[in-house]
Structures are given as structure tokens and as C-alpha cells.
A = this chain, B = another copy of it.
């Protein structure tokens, strides 16, 4: 690939991930499902790892019981269900995107997320910091998320 082709791919992937975040926080589930491949492997088991001193592990029972998903549609269905009544703000930072070839790439993003829960939930706010570890594929001219895994540095419940 030329330098220009590499830079175009990187910008396209940055905008792909930007749609991921905007769709998630504005609850545009069709847009959200569409940023993944149909066979995407999405592992969010690490997303509720917590080092908070006041954590009660029971507080997040029910979250991520079955937390490896195949395909954007299945994952969007799951996320839309667990965020009913929840306001969320997810931000990505400082991407390291490595274009491996014309149709494959991988990337790491730093992230911070907040989930403000409804009154009925066992906690008011889940607030986390961590990283996304991802691979991307270009299919039919569009970059999509092929695999996604979340690791957390810290997760606070309050």
C-alpha cells in the first residue's frame, strides 16, 4: 500500500469508530449494528471489571453473563436491551491503527465510559477507563469492525 492509501484507511477507520460511539450514546441501534461485520466477534467480558474499593460484585450480576457476541445485530440487540432507561457517554481516545493490508487492520483505543442507571438499578453510575482492542476488515468498499475486545484499567460503581 502507498502512504496515501494507508492514511485514507486510518481516517476511514477513525470515522467508523466515531459512528460506533455516536450510535451507542444516541441509541441509533441500526447504525450501531452496521459498524460491525455480520460475523464480528465481540467480547465485552472485560467491560465490567472493577477495582473500585466500594464495589459490590453482586451489583453487576446480570451484566455480561453471555458476553461474547457474534455479529453486529446480536450485539446491538443485547446493548439496546441492557441500556433501556440508561443514559450513556462513551469516548474513545488516542488510536493506534495499524493497516496490515488493503482490507485488514488492527487498532487499540483508550476509552472512558459512563452509564447512568435508572432508579431501579442497584447502582446509579458505572464509570470506567480502559482500552478497546480491535481488528477491522474492508468489505464491499467499507471498513467494519471484525473483532472487538474491551479491557478495563478501573471501573467504579456509585
Closest 4 CB pairs of A and B: A89-B129, A18-B94, A91-B93, A18-B96
Establish whether residues A21 and B94, one from each chain, have CB atoms under 8 Å apart when the complex forms.
yes
Complex-state Cα separation, A91 to B62, whole angstroms: 30
Partner of A94, one of B4, B22, B114, B153: B22
How many of chain A's residues have a CB under 8 angstroms from any CB in B?
35
Task: Spell out A's residues near B (CB within 8 Å).
Answer: 3-4, 7-8, 10-11, 14-15, 17-19, 21-22, 25-26, 51, 87-89, 91-97, 108, 110, 112, 114, 116, 129, 131, 153-154
Establish whether residues B94 and A91, one from each chain, have CB atoms under 8 Å apart when the complex forms.
yes
Establish whether residues A154 and B116, one from each chain, have CB atoms under 8 Å apart when the complex forms.
yes
